[in-house]
Chain A
C-alpha cells in the first residue's frame, strides 16, 4: 500500500510545473527575537532574494562576502535576506559573526529550519529570488565563486 502511494505520487509529480511557487507562510525571527512573517517580506514594489546560511557553512559565508565586495557597484540597493539556520548550538555565535560583517543583507533566524524545510532546502547555501509579488523566479543550490553575479543579475532583472 505504502509502495503504491509512493509510486503514485512519484509519477504524479512528473508532469507538474512548479513555477508559481509563492514564499511559504512561516514565522522567522529578527536579531532581537521578534517574529517576522515571511508574508511581510513582500512589499509589492521590489523583488527580493533569500539565501540560507549558517556559521559553520564556509561556502555560505564566502557567498555573502562576495556580495559584500560587489555591493558598492550596485546602482541601487538590493533586498537580500540572509536566513540563518544555526540552531541553539551556535546561534549566538552566528549573531556575533553577522554583527560586524557588513553583509549587504538583513539577517533573519530560522532556528528549527521551518522555512528551509518548507522550501525543500536539503543543503546550503541555497538562494531563492522572488519577484515583487512574492512569486519564486529563480533558485540555485550550492556556491561556486561567480554564482553571486547570476544572483545579482536575476534580482536586477526583476527591478
Chain B
C-alpha cells in the first residue's frame, strides 16, 4: 500500500509541469496544491514523511457548473488534525446560476453578515474546512435591493467516518440595500443535533437541548468616504464549558449574545477605522463534544480583534479569542504623506498606527469580580520609498497578553522592533532584508531574527532566515529555501527547523510541534 501511495505521489509531482504545458479549450479549471515534509528529528512523534495534498476541479458550461475537491493525507503534516488521514472528497457540487438566482446542491461555503452567525470557509494553513453539505439558494427578490439566501445541510466533520457531523444546519438571510447608502439585514440559523453526546446531559444534570437557534440584525450606512456597520447576534440556550484554569470546568446552559460595530472614515491622506465587539457564549459548534474540538468543528467566525501580525517575532505569541466572553476595541489610522511633499519626499511615505484592547468578561473569569485585561497591543509602522530602488520600513509592536485571558494577574509583555529594507538592483533583481528584535522579561525572554531574500523576477526567489532565542534557551530556528515560479506554477523547496507554537489565522489556532526537515510546497492553478 505504501509503495502504491508513494508511486501515486511521484506521479502527481512529475505530472505537474505537464499541466503547465498543455493547451486546449475545455471549460475545466482548478488547482493543485501539495505540501510535504520529511522530519529528520528521530525523537519526534512526528518523524518521517508527512504530506497534505489538495486537488480541486471545476467544470462550467453556460449557467451550469460542477466541481470536486479531492484531498489526500498519507500522513497529515505535524500539528494537523489526525482525523484527516487518508483520502477524501470533501467538496462535490452541482450548481446553476442565472442573472437573479443561483442554486447549489452538494458542499458549499457561505458567510452571513460578518460571520458571527455563520461562516463556513477553508483555510489550509490550519487544516480547517467547515463546508456544509446540502442545498444553497441565493437570489434577488422582485423588490429593488432585496436579496435572499436560504441554506440547509450537514456540516463537515473530520472525526466522523462519513465526513459529516450528526447535525443539520438551516439558515435564512434577508438583505436590503436602501437609497442614500443605507442597508439592513436579518438572519436566523437553526442547528439540530440528532445524536448528541450522552455525557453532555450527564454533566449538565439535565437534558441538553438538541436544537439551538441564532438570530441576527445588521445595519449599515455608507457615504463617499464614511462607512459604519453594526450587527447584533443572539443565541438560544446552548451547552457551554467555562475554563477553570486547573480546576474542573463548569458546565451550564446559557444564552449567547454578540454585538459588533465598525466605522471607517477618510479625508485627504488620512484614513481612520475603529471596531468594537462584545461576545458572550458565542462559540457555535457543528456538534458539541467533550473531547478535543477539531479546528473544523465551528459554524461561526470569531477572529481575534487585534492586528494579524506577519513578522516572525511579532507573531510568536498570538492572542486567541475567548469565545465564552470578552469585549474589545480596535483602532487604526493611516496617513499617506503625499509624493512631493516636504515629509513625503519624492516617492511618498505611509504611517500606520494601530492598537487594540481586549478584556475577558468577569462571568467567565472565576477569580475576578469585574472584567479584566486579556490582551492589548500598540503597533506603529512607517514605510518610505527613498529612491526608485530603495524602500525601508520601521515597525514597532508593543504587546501584553494574559495567558489566562485575565483570570490571573500575570501577563506577558513583549516589545518587537523590526527594520526592513528592500533594494532593487535592476528591474528584475532585488534584495530584501529584515532585522528583528524582541525584548521581553517573561517566558523565553529576548529573541532576535534576521531574514535575507534575493529575488530574480519572474521566476526565482531565495530566502535565508534565522530566529535565535538568546534570552534563555539559546536555540536557533533557521530556514533556507528556494522558490521557482512559472505563471501559476510555484515550487518552494526548503530545509529548516521549525519552532513549536501556535499557528493562528483569524480566530482559529492550531498547535504546531517542533520539527527539523526538508519541506516541499507545490501549487498550480489550472
- If A92-B263, A139-B525, A141-B485 touch, whether A120 touches B29 (CB-CB below 8 Å) is yes
Chain A 51-66 against B: per-residue CB contact (8 Å), 1 yes, 0 no? Answer: 0000111100010010
**What is the interface size of chain B, counting residues whose CB is below 8 A from a CB of the partner?**
107
A96 partner, pick from B15, B18, B119, B271, beta carbons under 8 A: B271
CA distance A56 to B303 in the complex (A): 14
Are A18 and B458 CB-contacts (below 8 A) given A31-B227, A100-B336?
no
Chain A, residues 30-72, CB within 8 Å of chain B (1/0): the string is 0111110000000000000000000111100010010001000
User: Are the CB atoms of A144 and B430 closer together than 8 Å?
Assistant: yes
- Interface size class on chain A is 35 or more
Judge whether A144 and B488 touch: CB under 8 Å: no
Residues of B342-399 at the interface with A, using a CB-CB cut-off of 8 Å, are 347, 350, 352, 354, 385, 388
In the assembled complex, the Cα of A122 lies from the Cα of B354 at a distance in Å of: 28
- Interface stretch of the complex, out of B43-51, B54-62, B207-215: B54-62
Known: A18-B28, A56-B310. A93 touches B273 (CB 8 A): yes
- Given the complex of chains A and B, what is the CA–CA distance between A126 and B525 in angstroms? 10
- Minimum distance in angstroms from A31 CB to a CB of chain B: 7
Given A113-B121, A144-B458, A147-B457, check contact A96 B273 (CB 8 Å). Answer: yes
Contacts A2-B89, A100-B270, A142-B485; is A89 near B507 (CB within 8 Å)? yes
Given A142-B485, A145-B422, A150-B458, also A18-B24 (CB < 8 A): yes
Chain A CB within 8 A of B248 CB? no
The answer to whether B87 touches A102 (Cβ under 8 A) is no
Write out, one digit per residue, whether chain B residues 479-513 have a CB within 8 A of any chain A CB (1) or not (0).
Answer: 00001010111100000000000000011000000
Complex Cα distance, B518 from A18, in Å, reads 32
Residues of A within 8 A of B23 (CB): 17, 19
> A2 contacts B88, CB within 8 Å?
yes
Contact with A along B2-14 (1 / 0, CB 8 A): 0000001001100
CB distance from A1 to the nearest CB of B (A): 9
Does chain A have a CB within 8 A of B36?
Answer: no
Q: Which residues of B contact A21 (CB under 8 A)?
A: 27, 29
Instruction: For B220, list chain A residues within 8 Å (CB).
Output: 33
Segment at the interface with A among B76-84, B109-117, B165-173: B109-117
Q: Given contacts A118-B58, A139-B487, are A6 and B89 in contact (CB under 8 A)?
A: yes
Q: Which residues B177-234 have CB closer than 8 A to chain A? A: 177, 181, 183, 220, 222, 225, 227, 229
Interface centre among B268, B308, B388, B430 (most CB of A within 10 A): B308
Inter-chain contact A140/B487, CB cutoff 8 Å: yes
Query: Once the chains bind, are B305 and A120 in contact (CB under 8 Å)?
Result: no
B87–A6 CB distance below 8 A: yes
Contact B24 A92 (CB under 8 A): no
Contact residue among B222, B335, B428, B525 (Cβ-Cβ distance under 8 Å from A31): B222
For the A-B complex, the count of residue pairs with Cβ-Cβ distances under 8 Å equals 237
B70: which of A6, A55, A57, A144 is its contact (CB, 8 Å)? Answer: A6
| Interface membership of B470, Cβ < 8 A | no
Contact B29 A18 (CB under 8 A): yes
Tell me, in angstroms, the Cα distance from A18 to B60 when the chains sit together: 11
**A88 and B303 within 8 A (CB):** yes
A147 touches B88 (CB 8 A): no
Is B455 an interface residue, CB under 8 A from the partner? Answer: yes
Q: Kindly state whether residue A119 has any CB partner on chain B within 8 Å.
A: yes
**The one of B97, B333, B523 that contacts A122, using a Cβ cutoff of 8 Å:** B523
Q: Apart from A93-B273, A96-B273, what are 18 other A-B pairs with CB-CB below 8 Å? A: A9-B57, A10-B55, A17-B24, A25-B102, A32-B222, A33-B177, A56-B308, A89-B303, A89-B308, A93-B354, A95-B227, A96-B264, A96-B272, A101-B336, A120-B525, A123-B490, A139-B488, A146-B427
Pick 26 A–B contacts, CB within 8 A, sort by A.
A9-B55, A13-B57, A13-B526, A16-B22, A33-B229, A35-B147, A62-B422, A69-B347, A69-B388, A93-B307, A96-B272, A99-B334, A100-B271, A100-B336, A113-B121, A120-B525, A122-B54, A138-B487, A139-B488, A141-B485, A141-B489, A142-B483, A144-B457, A145-B428, A146-B455, A150-B457
